[in-house]
Amino acid sequence: MRDLFSFPNPVNEKAARVVAGAVLATVIVILATGSYWLLIPVAYGFWARVLTGPTLSPLGWTAQNVIAPRLGPKTPVPGPPKRFAQGMGAVMSTAALVLAYAASHTAADVTLILFLPAAGLESIFGYCVGCKIFGSLMRLGVIPERVCAECADVTLRWRSA
């Protein structure tokens, strides 16, 4: 059971970018068509990835095992910031889902619009907004350094290269 509820560390950045691209495309479809039911698999995917990594996420599993290997060698990045980013996506997509069906589509759309720069930057440029927030929280002492030793000391990455 412990293996099921684990998150990879390191994460293949190429797989993370593929997932972000699929999220970006889905959010664009939702905003363009009003197909708010698509928030169900989006929210499920985020929760599955934050809780189990790619194990119970069809998108995460496909990105890691099928698509990313075809994009070249793995590009490892620390897992804890990616898990934090997935958690942010889980909260935001769940909020959008609840807003769409319990409050207003406009409120859901505002929440979904926040995904556009975040998923776009990750998928296109490899810039993870959630990871940057994670790093800021570490510098402020909100997240302890032991959560991600590599994040706290980038020289560890230089030594392994």
Tens digits of residue pLDDT in 105-120: 999 999 999 999 999 9
Distance CA 11, CA 79 (A): 5
| The pLDDT of residue 153 | 63
Instruction: Kindly report the pTM of this predicted structure.
Output: 0.89
Phi, psi of 11, rounded to the nearest 5 degrees: -105, 145
Q: Is the dihedral of CA 137, 138, 141, 146 positive or negative?
A: positive
User: Closest by alpha carbon to 80, among 137, 12, 8?
Assistant: 8
**Pairing mode, if any, of strands 76-77 and 11-12?**
antiparallel
Q: Report whether 138 contacts 148 (CB < 8 A).
A: yes
12-70 pLDDT, tens per residue? 999 999 999 999 999 999 999 999 999 999 999 999 999 999 999 999 999 999 999 99
